[in-house]
Amino acid sequence: MLRFRLLSVPFLSPKAQITCSSLAIPRSRLRSQMGSAYTTSSHPSKLLFRQLFEKESSTYTYLLADASHPEKPALLVDPVDKTIDRDLSLVKDLGLKLIYAINTHVHADHVTGTGLIKSKLPGVKSVISKASNAKADLLIEPGDKIQFGDLFLEVRATPGHTLGCITYVTGDGPNQPQPRMAFTGDALLIRGCGRTDFQGGSSEQLYKSVHSQARTFTQNSFSYNTVEFQVTTVGEEMLYNPRLTKDEETFKNIMANLNLSYPKMINVAVPANMACGFQDTSSKMC
């Protein structure tokens, strides 16, 4: 049974909103796309969804909003410092009200934009897991529910890539988008998974957390991550993922022998991301 703790934000009405957009879309086309709700089945969906790319780190940010709500509340998942102006410009163009800037984890490959967003839009709340030990306005825990308009994201624990990694999952129930969408950060990648040799990483935890969460989804639920453009499904990964389809011991052996070089930003990004991306970690803005 999931424990839901509703996060309250003073200016947010009981209904919430989300929206997303790709950088590749010329600004002139954005307004015309705004009216088309993201829908993947005959089930009516109010979710607008955009995937945004940051080319230096090759990472993705997701913008989600409840387009049917009068205030069009929105949130950004894994914003990058370098692309904040672009993201906020898009939020403005689409007539959205950004209420949350959320991280899946303390990233090693880019500096988060959550602090910069707060400095430009003081009403926005930064969000990260309590278990990450990072600073944010809202320190979420598994079972929490992040409401935006009539839509919400569930908070699921998927630790193992780093300490306190979270997967955010679109809500279940009437008027929630179907199939469900999971924002997995770097926990589950397409035919891969996050490495486990960073802060708080554990191949045992990653294996267990991804498998236990996967069992709670239908096979056609979507999985979006921070480092790959395409979407995959939970069912596809449970069948074809070359790491996670192995038994746990084989998985641990694979993960112990990846021999990957470290991301070039790691020594800057990890300390800054403990405080919303600020180099001055005593900043009051986080």
Ligand X SMILES: N[C@@H](CCC(=O)N[C@@H](CSS)C(=O)NCC(=O)O)C(=O)O
- Using CA atoms, how far apart are residues 109 and 286, in angstroms rounded to an integer? 20
Question: Taking the complex as a whole, how short is the minimal distance between the CB of residue 150 and Fe ion, in angstroms?
Answer: 31
Q: Is 264 in the site for ligand X (CB under 6 A)?
A: yes
Question: Taking the complex as a whole, how short is the minimal distance between the CB of residue 189 and Fe ion, in angstroms?
Answer: 10
In this structure, what DSSP letter does residue 176 have?
A: S
Question: Which partner from the list Fe ion, ligand X, none does 264 bind, CB cut-off 5 to 8 Å by kind?
Answer: ligand X
User: Which secondary structure element, helix H or strand E, spans residue 182, and what is its range?
Assistant: strand 181-183
Question: Which partner from the list ligand X, Fe ion, none does 261 bind, CB cut-off 5 to 8 Å by kind?
Answer: ligand X
Q: Which residue has the tokens 């709670």?
A: 216
Residue 37 or 254: the one with the smaller Cβ distance to ligand X is 254
Residue from 50, 118, 156, 195 that binds ligand X (CB under 6 A)? 195
Query: Which one of 38-46, 76-84, 178-186, 210-218 is the stretch in contact with Fe ion (CB under 5 A)?
Result: 178-186
How big is the site for ligand X, counted in residues (CB under 6 A)? 12
**Between residue 55 and residue 114, which ones bind ligand X under the rule CB under 6 A?**
108-109
| Per-residue exposure over 202-225, b if at least 16 CB sit within 10 Å of its own CB, e if not | bbebbbebbeebbeebeeebbbbb
Query: Which one of 17-25, 92-100, 182-190, 200-208 is the stretch in contact with Fe ion (CB under 5 A)?
Result: 182-190
Question: Taking the complex as a whole, how short is the minimal distance between the CB of residue 235 and ligand X, in angstroms?
Answer: 21
User: Which secondary structure element, helix H or strand E, spans residue 144, and what is its range?
Assistant: strand 144-148
Residue from 87, 144, 186, 237 that binds ligand X (CB under 6 A)? 186
> What would the DSSP string read from start to end of 18-80?
-----TTS-HHHHHHHHTS---SSSS---EEEEEEEETTTTEEEEEEEETTSTT-EEEEES-B
Q: Is 260 in the site for ligand X (CB under 6 A)?
A: yes
Question: Which partner from the list Fe ion, ligand X, none does 125 bind, CB cut-off 5 to 8 Å by kind?
Answer: none
Residue from 66, 150, 186, 237 that binds Fe ion (CB under 5 A)? 186
In terms of Cα–Cα distance, which of 92, 100, 87, 101 is closest to 52? 87
Residue 95 CB neighbour total at 10 angstroms: 14
| Residue 55, C-beta contacts closer than 8 angstroms, at least 6 positions apart | none
The dihedral through the CA atoms of 229, 159, 195, 132 has a sign that is positive
Query: Which one of 26-34, 57-65, 110-118, 185-193 is the stretch in contact with Fe ion (CB under 5 A)?
Result: 185-193
Q: Is 227 in the site for ligand X (CB under 6 A)?
A: yes
DSSP, collapsed to helix, strand or coil, labels residue 235 as helix
- Using CA atoms, how far apart are residues 238 and 43, in angstroms rounded to an integer? 25
What letter represents residue 130's amino acid? K
Residue 219 or 267: the one with the smaller Cβ distance to ligand X is 267
Residue from 28, 42, 230, 261 that binds ligand X (CB under 6 A)? 261
Question: Taking the complex as a whole, how short is the minimal distance between the CB of residue 188 and ligand X, in angstroms?
Answer: 11
Question: Taking the complex as a whole, how short is the minimal distance between the CB of residue 201 and ligand X, in angstroms?
Answer: 9
Where along the sequence are the contacts to ligand X (CB under 6 A)?
A: 108-109, 186, 192, 194-195, 227, 258, 260-261, 263-264
